Amino acid sequence: MLTKFIRRLGFASPTHHKKGLTPAIIPRSEHRVSRSNISKHALKVLYQLKDAGFQAYLVGGGVRDVLLDRHPKDFDVATDAKPEQVQKIFRNCRLIGRRFRLAHIHFGSHIVEVATFRASAPSQTINPHLVHSEGGMILRDNVYGTLEEDVLRRDFTVNALYYNIADFSVLDYVGGLKDLKEKTLRMIGDASQRYREDPVRMLRAIRFAAKLGFHIHPESEAPIFELAPLVKQVPSARLFDEYMKLFLSGYAKPSFDLLRHYQLFSVLFPESERCINSKQGEAVLAFISGALKDTDKRVAEDKPVALPFLLAAFLWQPLQEKTISLMEEGLSEPLAFF
């Protein structure tokens, strides 16, 4: 069904950004996204926003994964309603975030994240709600816009597919369906600039490539080797969130391999990478790989996993070496280890 529709379309280049984008509109009869695939909580949010007179779209990984015949756990919603307007509609809503304001709709332990359409404001725009660091990283981004602008603020084309609750169609502005079929991760816009705006996007590229088994488009992967050191600027809380997604989702070993390939692991864990490249490197790598594979196996078996276990595996050899160094300076083994 999807392949037939893609062949019928003549997509422009996904990086061809002009004002007034025209989407490919895939009617319900030609895609597999069904309300039966969507959580009841996400559907409730979509319908209540629609009934309140706002646009409401399912977007991101939820749409992508359903189209890939996967079973997403989370569904994100995009709308033209401002966060404060969303809060007025839902009594179970909590507004979060400084960098970009989001609405979390709580249904017990389940949360549906609602984001207002973001504007594609350039870095030189003078706007008190858009704040960049000297290196170009976006620090605060509460600039709201249109659906078309929101598309261009998404990271990868396969994450910029919008399911419209109004008519159950899927909107594709940037060739996401074609890239989905070709198993390609392609950054929307200039990859170098997008990574500088938010270095976490490089980690997201690794995560999606590992999870989906996709390859990163050459134009999107080339800047990673140069810009990998920028991840050191990312706040530790955001890095921790990314570690959870990278290593506790069942794809820890392929994520680790890709992080090393793109020289991101050496930035995040320089001492661990040094040990991997030392005389004991083969044993260190086998030790870390075993911990990663065991974690993936436990996830597949629906057993509990813990990030500290993997962080300890990464840092075990550096810890041993530091302990020996301190013992040579005269400390007892227990004290040196502590």
Residue 181 makes CB contacts below 8 A (sequence gap 6+) with 2, 3, 6
pLDDT interval class at 123 (50, 70, 90): very low
Are residues 101 and 114 in contact, defined by beta-carbon separation less than 8 angstroms? Answer: no
Are residues 72 and 34 in contact, defined by beta-carbon separation less than 8 angstroms? Answer: no
- The pLDDT, as a whole number, for residue 101 is 87
**Residue 13 pLDDT > 70:** no
Q: How far apart are the first and last CA of the chain?
A: 60
CATH number of this structure's domain 2-189: 3.30.460.10
Sign of CA dihedral 312, 314, 318, 324: positive
Backbone angles phi, psi at 15, to 5 degrees: -95, 10
For 263-288, the pLDDT digits (tens) are 999 999 999 999 999 999 999 999 99
Closest by CA to 164, choosing from 18, 33, 5, is 33
Q: Which DSSP letter does residue 156 get?
A: B
The DSSP secondary structure of 51-95, one letter per residue, reads HTT--EEEETHHHHHHHTT---S--EEEESS-HHHHHHH-TTEEE
* pTM recorded for the entire structure: 0.83
Are residues 81 and 73 in contact, defined by beta-carbon separation less than 8 angstroms? Answer: no
CA–CA dist 273, 266 (Å, integer): 5
pLDDT (mean) for 52-63: 96
Are residues 23 and 89 in contact, defined by beta-carbon separation less than 8 angstroms? Answer: no
- The pLDDT, as a whole number, for residue 12 is 38
- The pLDDT, as a whole number, for residue 11 is 41
Strands 56-59 and 161-164: antiparallel
CA–CA dist 265, 272 (Å, integer): 9
Active site residues: 74, 76, 155
pLDDT interval class at 8 (50, 70, 90): very low
CA 228 to chain centre: 16
Query: What is the token pair recorded at 258?
Result: 């890709």
pLDDT (mean) for 220-231: 97
Residue 200 makes CB contacts below 8 A (sequence gap 6+) with 231, 234, 238, 239, 242
CA–CA dist 122, 78 (Å, integer): 21
What does the domain layout of the chain look like in residue ranges? 2-189, 242-337
- The pLDDT, as a whole number, for residue 21 is 80
Count of CB atoms within 10 A of residue 8's CB?
A: 9
- The pLDDT, as a whole number, for residue 9 is 45
CA–CA dist 224, 205 (Å, integer): 10
| Mean pLDDT lowest among 114-123, 128-137, 159-168, 278-287 | 128-137
**Residue 138 pLDDT > 90:** no
Higher pLDDT: 136 or 329? It is 329
Q: Which CATH architecture has domain 242-337?
A: Orthogonal Bundle (1.10)
**pLDDT averaged over the chain?**
89
**Residue 36 pLDDT > 70:** yes
